[in-house]
């Protein structure tokens, strides 16, 4: 055997050793004869894993439309929404929002705006949902309106922090909510009670907005702001319908919400 042949075999040997070390044995076994069983293998999932994946599809808007939290996920949603993970996720969104806000070049004309939704964005309705199955029950508008009338929804701490820092950077705060005009007084009272103040404008649904999908209603109101000369740099909401449509913000930030879906 000549030198070249010996060198070739020697190289093949070390290549085999390197591949064996670099890749797990299980990956090396995905050979042509095993690929079909690999791709069709069912992954057993307990409720926690199933519900975590379900929540992922909610946040990526792949589950839409949906009307209730799956019954098997009610406990999961309760643990999430009342635990550290929800607050941590909300803090992460606020941090990214603030990081973007600091890059915006403010014009100084008083028209640099940041738009906030209210429910599950600034205010938390978890006390209400705690006695209504954490989203697993059919939504009852009358009982929810009674809760709103109490004006006791607490602030989301991460959102309150962001809200207070944005004006210091030169932003005007616009509140755009799906609540109706007859709830203006209790909404203002609740916002003040929870630590929010000095917003530029509070926009609620009027009689002409009745029956409109949230995406259309909020897009129309943002368009009115743009027509007035506002530049919407940022937008924060817990629903995709808060953020999508037309006249959208330069950057939109989605807060977590596995409790309900609004189209």
Q: Are 170 and 197 in contact (CB under 8 A)?
A: no
Do 125 and 9 have their domain in common? no
- Tally the domains of the chain: 2
Please tell me the predicted confidence (pLDDT) of residue 173: 98
Helix extents (H) in 114-257: 126-130, 141-150, 157-165, 184-193, 214-227, 240-243
Question: Does residue 78 belong to any structural domain of this protein?
Answer: yes
Do 32 and 130 have their domain in common? no
Do 145 and 120 have their domain in common? yes
With residue 131 as reference, give the H or E element that holds it. Answer: none
CA 143 – CA 146 distance, rounded (Å): 5
Query: What are the residues facing 205 on neighbouring strands?
Result: 180
Question: Does residue 263 belong to any structural domain of this protein?
Answer: no
For residue 145, how many other CB atoms are within 10 A of its CB?
14
Q: Residues 165-174: what's their mean pLDDT?
A: 98
DSSP reduced 3-state for 116: strand
For residue range 103-158, what is the model confidence (pLDDT) as tens digits? 999 998 999 999 999 999 999 999 999 999 999 999 999 999 999 999 999 999 99
Longest CA pairwise span in the chain (Å): 94
Question: Does residue 148 belong to any structural domain of this protein?
Answer: yes
Question: Does residue 17 belong to any structural domain of this protein?
Answer: yes
Do 24 and 97 have their domain in common? no
CA end-to-end distance (rounded Å), the chain: 74
Do 16 and 141 have their domain in common? no
Which has the closest alpha carbon to 237: 82, 129, 123? Answer: 123
Q: Which residues contact 7 (CB under 8 A, 6 or more apart)?
A: none
Do 143 and 164 have their domain in common? yes
Please tell me the predicted confidence (pLDDT) of residue 24: 46
Beta strands in the chain (DSSP E): 112-116, 172-180, 201-205, 231-237, 251-254
Do 19 and 96 have their domain in common? no
Is 70 exceeded by the pLDDT of residue 3?
Answer: no
Please tell me the predicted confidence (pLDDT) of residue 46: 87
Question: Does residue 261 belong to any structural domain of this protein?
Answer: no
Confidence of residue 4 (pLDDT cuts 50, 70, 90): low
Q: What is the CATH number of the domain that holds 150?
A: 3.40.50.1000
Do 27 and 51 have their domain in common? no
Which residues form the domain of 96? 47-254
Please tell me the predicted confidence (pLDDT) of residue 1: 56
Q: Residues 48-77: what's their mean pLDDT?
A: 96
Question: Does residue 262 belong to any structural domain of this protein?
Answer: no
Whether the ω angle into residue 175 lies within 30 degrees of 0, i.e. cis, is: no
Do 58 and 26 have their domain in common? no
Is 90 exceeded by the pLDDT of residue 212?
Answer: yes
With residue 138 as reference, give the H or E element that holds it. Answer: none
Q: Model's pTM, two decimal places?
A: 0.83
Do 118 and 161 have their domain in common? yes
Do 26 and 88 have their domain in common? no
Do 32 and 126 have their domain in common? no
């Amino acid at each position: 055997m000549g030198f070249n042949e010996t060198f070739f075999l020697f190289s093949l040997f070390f290549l085999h050793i390197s591949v064996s070390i670099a890749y797990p044995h299980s990956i090396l076994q995905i050979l042509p004869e095993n690929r079909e069983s690999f791709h069709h293998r069912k992954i057993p999932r307990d409720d926690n894993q199933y519900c975590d994946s379900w929540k992922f599809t909610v946040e990526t808007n792949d589950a839409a439309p949906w009307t209730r939290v799956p019954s098997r996920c009610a406990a999961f949603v309760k643990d999430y929404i009342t635990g550290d993970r929800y607050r941590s996720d909300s803090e992460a969104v606020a941090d990214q929002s603030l990081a973007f806000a600091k890059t915006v070049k403010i014009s100084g004309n008083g028209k640099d705006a940041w738009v906030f939704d209210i429910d599950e964005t600034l205010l938390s309705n978890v006390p209400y949902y705690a006695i209504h199955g954490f989203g697993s029950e059919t939504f009852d508008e009358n009982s929810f309106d009674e809760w709103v009338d109490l004006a006791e929804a607490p602030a989301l701490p991460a959102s309150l922090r962001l809200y207070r820092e944005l004006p210091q950077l030169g932003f005007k705060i616009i509140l755009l909510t799906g609540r109706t005009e007859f709830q203006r007084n209790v909404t203002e009272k609740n916002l003040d009670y929870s630590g929010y103040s000095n917003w530029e404008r509070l926009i609620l649904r009027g009689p002409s907005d009745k029956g409109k999908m949230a995406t259309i209603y909020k897009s129309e109101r943002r368009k009115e702001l743009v027509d007035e000369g506002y530049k919407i740099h940022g937008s924060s909401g817990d629903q995709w319908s808060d953020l999508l449509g037309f006249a959208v913000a330069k950057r939109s930030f989605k807060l977590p919400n596995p409790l309900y879906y609004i189209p």
